[in-house]
Amino acid sequence: MTRIEWTSKAYKQLRKIKNRQTESTIYEAVGELAAWPNCLNVKRLIDHQYQYRLRVGNYRVFFDVVGGTVIIVTVQEVKKRDERTY
């Protein structure tokens, strides 16, 4: 079982999510990272600031793995893209 740590920045971002259902879904998905490396919706990132990302609906949880510890770094919402985005 892997230990999970939250940075203060990531925890504040999680608490700012207005929808409590979404907040609890993200928290539960992060809890499943305790079974590292047998996790779903996780992708290793290449040429990125963080090592991995966890996809939870419209949110992405970026994290690093150091030793036997998963460190949650940031939680970001993915905004809808349209023709004005580019």
The pLDDT value recorded for residue 86 is: 60
The pLDDT value recorded for residue 85 is: 60
DSSP string, 6-70: E-HHHHHHHHT-S-HHHHHHHHHHHHGGGGTTS-SSEEE-SSSSSSEEEEETTEEEEEEEETTEE
The architecture (CATH level 2) of 3-77 comes to: 2-Layer Sandwich (3.30)
Whether 22 shows a pLDDT value over 80: the answer reads yes
- Domain ranges across the chain: 3-77
Give the CA dihedral 64, 43, 35, 33, nearest 10 degrees: 60
pLDDT digits over 33-77, tens only?
Answer: 988 888 888 999 999 999 999 999 999 999 999 988 999 999 999
Mean pLDDT of 20-35: 92
